Amino acid sequence: MVGQRVRTRFAPSPTGYLHVGGLRTALYNYLFAKRMNGDFIIRIEDTDQSRKVEGAQRNLIKTLEWAGIVADESPEHGGNYGPYIQSERLHLYREYCDRLLEDNHAYYCFSTSEELEENRQLQLKQGLQPKYNRKWLPEEMGGAVPSSEIARKIGEGCPYVIRMKVPDYVSVWFEDMIRGPVEFDSSTIDDQVLMKSDGFPTYHFASVIDDHLMEFTHIIRGEEWLPSMPKHLLLYEFFGWEPPKYAHLPLLLNPDRSKLSKRQGDVAVEDYIRKGYSADAIVNFVAMLGWNEGEGTEQEVYSMQELIEKFSLERVGKAGAVFNVEKLNWLEKQYIKNRPVEQIITAIKPVLAAELDKKETSMSRELISSDRYLGQVIDLMRERVGFEHEFVTFSAYFFFDPDAYEEEAVKKRWIPETNDLLREFVSALEAVEPFTAEAIESALKEFVAPKGLKAAVLIHPLRILASGVSFGPSLYHMLEVLGREAVLRRINKGMERIVVPV
Ligand code: GLU
């Protein structure tokens, strides 16, 4: 393996959405390969035809691409292949299985599912770990079945599977890159089915054959595959192949440390995309589920490029990684805070324009086409939004005069004198020069002080009249961005419409 080009793979089964754990596996494989200037490949493991879901393959690849994980050798990279699809490679698995049959490492098994179940129940009753009872092990492999009987059954067209024969007493050992040495006792290993009766290989068989033929140097996958290692390593031994290096990633956990499950939150990457999370935040978040840069670093925000530069399997822990959605929300906010304003403008402009089409006022069309105005709104709202789409929902009043006012807030903030005070303050506002946050603030303070009133008497009603709602960014900055004309228009219009409580 010395000097060999690093090659890793992500090998999803097209059975539905992309699980966040799957995204982490794909990401770690990608980061590791890119860090080592190697190749990252996608292989679709669709040998279980009963679990195949229409459209899942396309969706998996689309979601990975959304996250910025693009496979080498794929058409997206100018390659001719990819993703590799196992159902298109059936002849290969059969060929390699025939080799194992010839070498007495595998045998035909004609046991029916009823027989297998009966045997299983019997073993369970005896307190044994259920294993195939080797009823069809041929004579030449130490069993009781003459080869003529096997030939007869095949000739009659009886359905069969092909099983590997696990040697009775060997211990299987390997060095996991994350867990260190791991050892298994072969007496606990079942005679794994390699080829199913429908002519398709099982996952175990196809993945070993492909991992070898596709020359992967490192297999990085979830901890749930650790128990399969002895079967996989035995297959390498049967073929006389050198196995790749393995790294089994820690489990993902709910905050209560149970295994991450749908019951406690979303597990499909698509759900997070739909909610408005950005690829930057998701990738950053998923990268930290089991990996950290090491002691002495406070850094938590990493771009894909930084991850590629810093990722290493040595820094992936063994302990389960807690999936903490608050951390993800925090990261999303960090990205929003630092995203270039032009990028946000490009993203929200079409959405605002579509909103506008519903309302149809020429005034807001002008505002939306002004990048300067959009930029001011974005900078004012950055700290207050959790998602990019909230720039649109929370900032609507920067583009449209309010057509309603929060009723509870009006009730709470209006006293009988409010409208008179506002009317008087409008004259002060007309004279504020320049119309900046600081100047507006001084004007308001100078207006209330001689009257012995608190600024709040006007601050709240002004906000409600200008925006329709009782919360938002700093009032003075908001008024500055809206501009004198809009502010005065909104106050006057609002006072006409708000019925003063008596
Ligand atoms: N198809 C397996 C899965 O769905 C891949 C396991 C492996 O990486 O070997 O997770």
The rounded Å distance from CA 225 to ligand 1 centre is: 8
CA distance 6 to 215: 9
Last residue of a domain, one of 322, 337, 352: 337
CA distance 460 to 385: 21
Phi, psi for 407 (deg, rounded to 5): -60, -50
DSSP state of 321: E
pLDDT at 81: 57
For residue 220, tell me if it sits in a domain. yes
Q: Which atom of ligand 1 is nearest to the CA of 220?
A: 8
CA quadruple 448, 450, 452, 458: dihedral, nearest 10:
-10
Q: Which atom of ligand 1 is nearest to the CA of 11?
A: 5
Indicate if 211 and 71 belong to the same structural domain.
yes
Indicate if 272 and 284 belong to the same structural domain.
yes
pLDDT at 106: 98
pLDDT at 2: 57
For residue 383, tell me if it sits in a domain. yes
Backbone φ/ψ region at 68: left (φ over 0), alpha (ψ -120 to 50), beta:
left
Chain-centre distance of CA 280, in angstroms? Answer: 11
For residue 374, tell me if it sits in a domain. yes
Indicate if 75 and 104 belong to the same structural domain.
no
* Ligand 1 pocket test, candidate residues 30, 203, 228, most atoms within 8 A of CB: 203
The rounded Å distance from CA 75 to ligand 1 centre is: 23
CA distance 266 to 283: 16
For residue 255, tell me if it sits in a domain. no
Indicate if 177 and 232 belong to the same structural domain.
no
Closest CA to 94 of 211, 234, 233, 202: 202
Indicate if 413 and 330 belong to the same structural domain.
no
Indicate if 239 and 100 belong to the same structural domain.
no
pLDDT at 365: 81
CA distance 273 to 283: 12
The rounded Å distance from CA 96 to ligand 1 centre is: 20
For residue 278, tell me if it sits in a domain. yes
Question: Which helix (H) or strand (E) covers residue 41, if one does?
Answer: strand 39-44
Running along the chain, 502 residues long, what does each successive block of 10 average in pLDDT? 85 95 98 97 94 93 96 65 86 97 98 96 93 96 96 97 92 94 87 96 98 97 96 97 98 94 90 96 98 89 97 96 96 97 95 82 80 97 95 92 92 92 96 97 97 96 97 97 97 84 52
Concatenated DSSP letters of 195-246? E-TTSPBPHHHHHHHHHHHTT-SEEEEEGGGGGGHHHHHHHHHHHTPPP-EE
For residue 257, tell me if it sits in a domain. no
Q: CATH number of the domain at 493, please.
A: 1.10.10.350
Q: CATH number of the domain at 132, please.
A: 3.90.800.10
Residue with tokens 């035809």: 49
Ligand 1 contacts CB of residue 14 (under 6 A)? no
Q: Show the tokens assigned to 249.
A: 């990633």
Q: Show the tokens assigned to 69.
A: 């994980």
Indicate if 166 and 100 belong to the same structural domain.
yes
Q: CATH number of the domain at 272, please.
A: 1.10.1160.10
For residue 18, tell me if it sits in a domain. yes
For residue 200, tell me if it sits in a domain. no
Of the residues 62, 262, 412, 454, only one is catalytic, namely 262
262 is catalytic: yes
Q: Which atom of ligand 1 is nearest to the CA of 22?
A: 10
pLDDT at 171: 85
Ligand 1 contacts CB of residue 249 (under 6 A)? no
Domain of 343, in residue numbers: 339-398
Closest CA to 308 of 20, 7, 33: 33
The total of structural domains in the chain comes to 5
